[in-house]
Structure 1
Amino acid sequence: MRVAIVGGHGQIARHLHPLLVAAGDRPVALVRSESHRAELEAASAEVRLLDIEREDADAFGRAFDGCEAVVFAAGGGPDGNKERKRTVDLEGSLKSIEGAGLAGIRRFVQVSAIDVDRPVADDTSDVWRAYVEAKRDADAALRSSDLDWTIIRPGRLTDEAPTGLVALGPEVSRASIPRADVAAVLAAVLDRSATIGHQWNLVSGETPVAEAINRAASR
């Protein structure tokens, strides 16, 4: 399966590429800058250029050509520029959803953030509020689409070594998780039809990834 990864040079995506290759899939890294090509091709990813913020849904559809699935792993992050929460986290997702439809792709996996449907506390920063609202609205748009979607909502992301042990489900409480473990879950849900139509929180836990997915999908 050829998998288009929006945000293909992001930290989660760079963990995901080798996992897809090991599973016999072909990662297609969609990136803004040509400067990332050598690094990503060394990881056996195909590289295509796509400016998430400046290009339209038609360009996304063309970038997805020949792919069978899309992973939206782009994000402006919880810090920094408030405006980029809209242009990357929300509008990037909306254009990816539309682009998938234009390219005839049904499978779509989205990386979100834990518990973004819950109201934002009044004492949070404007940037954090914009981030949560962008992720919330992007998830709502994907859920209302006719795509075969799965939404993964990790807790606080870390760069610690992967453990392969997670807690996954709609009511999992806030905690942290290594980015590498998030990537492992993304790779594992892609070709599992039982995960379609599910939205799960994801943090570090005590259950191996495959078992955690099986349990969550059976509920």
Structure 2
Amino acid sequence: MRIVIAGGHGKIALRLQRLLAQRGDQPVGLIRNPDHAPDLRAAGAEPAQVDLEHTTVTQLAEQLMGADAAVFAAGAGPGSGAERKETLDRAGAVLFADAASLAGVRRFVVVSALRVDEEPPADTDPVFAAYLRAKGAADADIQQRGAELDWTILRPGRLTDVTGTGRVQLASEVEHGDIPRDDVAATLLALLDEPGTVGHTLGLVAGSTPIPDAVAQIAAKGAGGS
């Protein structure tokens, strides 16, 4: 499969690209900074230079033509202000979804975050609150696209760089908790392979269920059972 990943130099995206390449798929990572291209090639991915904040839907759709699936794993990242949460975490995700639809790429998986459909508490850092609202707005937009996209939204807990265990808790509602980026990438891989997870919005934290079993349990509930 040819999988196009927005935010191709991100820590989760690089892990996902390695997993895809290892099994013979063709990952394509969209990057803004051309200096990041060698890292993608080392992971087995094809780099494509695209700035999600300064491109058109038509230009982006060209990168998606012929793809079997698209993954939105981009984000403004630490150190960015509230404005970039809006232009990348929300508008970038919406643009990527528009481009996938225009290119005829139905399978669409999003990396989001826990609790983004709730209003942040009053004492939340303003920039982090802007991030949560941006992610929530992007998710809400994509959740209305069932006629054009076979979407799945994955909402990991607090991300860590410890070695993954391959065991998770995956459900429509989970308590706050940590999750290794290794296990997020492995879960994304499994979700891409399982059409029964279409229409689900899923929380992900560390747990005791092997990832293939956790995904199979979601699929058994049927499409849109989130």
TM interval, shorter chain, is over 0.9
1:135 maps to: 135
Unaligned runs of 5+ in 1: none
Q: Find the aligned partners of 1:92 and 1:62 in 2 and give their Cα distance.
A: 16
Unaligned runs of 5+ in 2: 222-226
Task: Work out which of the residue numbers 209, 212, 223 in structure 2 matches 1:210.
Answer: 212
CA deviation after TM superposition for structure 1 residue 110, in Å: 0.2
Q: 1:64 touches 1:100 (CA, 8 Å); kept in 2?
A: yes
Offset from partner CA, 1:78-97 (integer Å, 9 cap, x none)? 65311110111001101000
1:196 maps to: 198
1:61 maps to: 61
2:107 maps to: 107
* SS of residue matched to 2:87: helix
Give the share of equivalent positions with the same residue, in percent.
47
Q: Find the aligned partners of 2:128 and 2:78 in 1 and give their Cα distance.
A: 5
Aligned AA (1:32)? R
Q: 1:78 touches 1:131 (CA, 8 Å); kept in 2?
A: no
1:173 maps to: 175
2:5 maps to: 5
Which one is further off, 58-67 or 1-10?
58-67
Aligned AA (2:74)? A
* SS of residue matched to 2:173: coil
Q: Find the aligned partners of 1:208 and 1:143 in 2 and give their Cα distance.
A: 27
Q: Does structure 1 residue 151 correspond to structure 2 residue 150?
A: no
Q: Find the aligned partners of 1:101 and 1:78 in 2 and give their Cα distance.
A: 30
Q: 2:157 touches 2:205 (CA, 8 Å); kept in 1?
A: yes
Q: 2:40 touches 2:46 (CA, 8 Å); kept in 1?
A: yes
Q: Find the aligned partners of 1:214 and 1:87 in 2 and give their Cα distance.
A: 35
Offset from partner CA, 1:70-120 (integer Å, 9 cap, x none)? 000001236531111011100110100000011111000000001211221
Q: 1:77 touches 1:131 (CA, 8 Å); kept in 2?
A: no
Which one is further off, 74-83 or 51-60?
74-83
Matched pairs, number:
219
Q: Find the aligned partners of 1:192 and 1:169 in 2 and give their Cα distance.
A: 15
2:119 maps to: 119
Q: 1:5 touches 1:28 (CA, 8 Å); kept in 2?
A: yes
Q: Find the aligned partners of 1:171 and 1:23 in 2 and give their Cα distance.
A: 31
Q: 1:27 touches 1:46 (CA, 8 Å); kept in 2?
A: yes
CA deviation after TM superposition for structure 1 residue 44, in Å: 1.4
* SS of residue matched to 2:193: coil
Offset from partner CA, 1:119-148 (integer Å, 9 cap, x none)? 210111110111011110111111111200
Q: Find the aligned partners of 2:30 and 2:78 in 1 and give their Cα distance.
A: 22
Q: 2:195 touches 2:219 (CA, 8 Å); kept in 1?
A: no
TM-score (norm 1): 0.97
Task: Work out which of the residue numbers 151, 163, 166 in structure 1 matches 2:165.
Answer: 163
Aligned AA (2:155)? R
* SS of residue matched to 1:28: strand
Q: Find the aligned partners of 1:157 and 1:107 in 2 and give their Cα distance.
A: 24
* SS of residue matched to 1:9: coil
Q: Find the aligned partners of 1:66 and 1:106 in 2 and give their Cα distance.
A: 11
Aligned AA (1:35)? D
Q: 1:198 touches 1:217 (CA, 8 Å); kept in 2?
A: no
